[in-house]
A = this chain, B = another copy of it.
Amino acid sequence: MTATGSFFRSRWVDVPDNVSEPGGGLPKGFAAAGVACGIKPSGGLDLGLVVSSAPATTSAARFTSSGTQSAPVLLCRERCALDGIRAVVVNSGNANAATGRPGFENAVKMQGAAALASRCPEGAVAVASTGVIGVPLPVSSAITGIVQATHALRPDGEIDFARAIRTTDVLDKHACVDVVVGGGTVRLTAQAKGAGMISPNFATLLCFAQTDAALSPETCDLLLGVTVKRSFERISVDGQLSTSDTVILQASGESGVAIEPETEDEVRFGEALDAVLRQLALNMVRDGEGARRVGRVVVHGGSDDVVDRVAHTVADSPLVKTALYGGDPNWGRIIQAVGMAMPGTAPLAVDITIEGIQVCARGQYVPHDEEALKAAVQGEEVEYDINLPGEGAETERYFSDLGHGYVTLNAEYTT
What is the interface of chain A, defined by CB distance below 8 A to chain B? 65-69, 73-74, 95, 97-103, 132-136, 199-201, 238-243, 317-319, 322-323, 325-326, 328-333, 335-348, 350, 359-360, 362-365, 401-404, 406-408, 410-415
Contacts and interface: CB of A to CB of B under 8 A. Distances in A.
Given A330-B201, A363-B68, A243 B98 contact: no
A346 B66 contact: yes
Q: Which 7 A-B pairs have the closest CB atoms?
A: A68-B339, A100-B364, A133-B332, A326-B411, A67-B342, A66-B339, A322-B410
A411 B201 CA distance: 26
B74 A347 contact: yes
Given A67-B345, A344-B65, A200 B317 contact: no
A102 B362 CA distance: 13
Contact of A339 (B69, B102, B339): B69
A201 B50 CA distance: 50
B201 A332 contact: yes
Given A336-B68, A343-B65, A360 B134 contact: yes
Contacts of A242: 336
Contacts of A403: 407, 411
Contact of A66 (B103, B336, B413): B336
A162 B334 CA distance: 29
Contact of A240 (B326, B336, B350, B404): B336
Contact of A67 (B201, B343, B401): B343
A406 B406 CA distance: 12
Given A201-B319, A328-B413, 18 more contacts: A65-B344, A66-B339, A68-B339, A68-B342, A68-B347, A69-B347, A100-B364, A132-B332, A133-B335, A134-B331, A135-B365, A199-B333, A238-B319, A241-B336, A243-B339, A322-B406, A328-B411, A329-B415
Given A200-B336, A201-B333, A344-B65, A364 B98 contact: yes
Contacts of A333: 133, 199-201
Chain A interface, DSSP helix/strand/loop, else mixed: loop
B68 A325 contact: no
A138 to B, nearest CB: 14
Nearest to A134: B365
A332 B97 contact: yes
Contacts of A359: 134
Contacts of A360: 98, 134
A410 B323 contact: yes
Contacts of A100: 362-365
B238 A335 contact: no
A201 to B, nearest CB: 6
Contact of A410 (B326, B337, B345): B326
Nearest to A408: B404
A353 to B, nearest CB: 14
A74 B346 contact: yes
Given A326-B414, A415-B330, A344 B134 contact: no
Nearest to A135: B365
A402 B318 contact: yes
Contact of A322 (B95, B325, B329, B411): B411
Contacts of A344: 65, 67
A415 B134 contact: no
Contacts of A240: 317-319, 336-337, 340
Contacts of A74: 346-347
A307 to B, nearest CB: 14
A239 B360 CA distance: 24
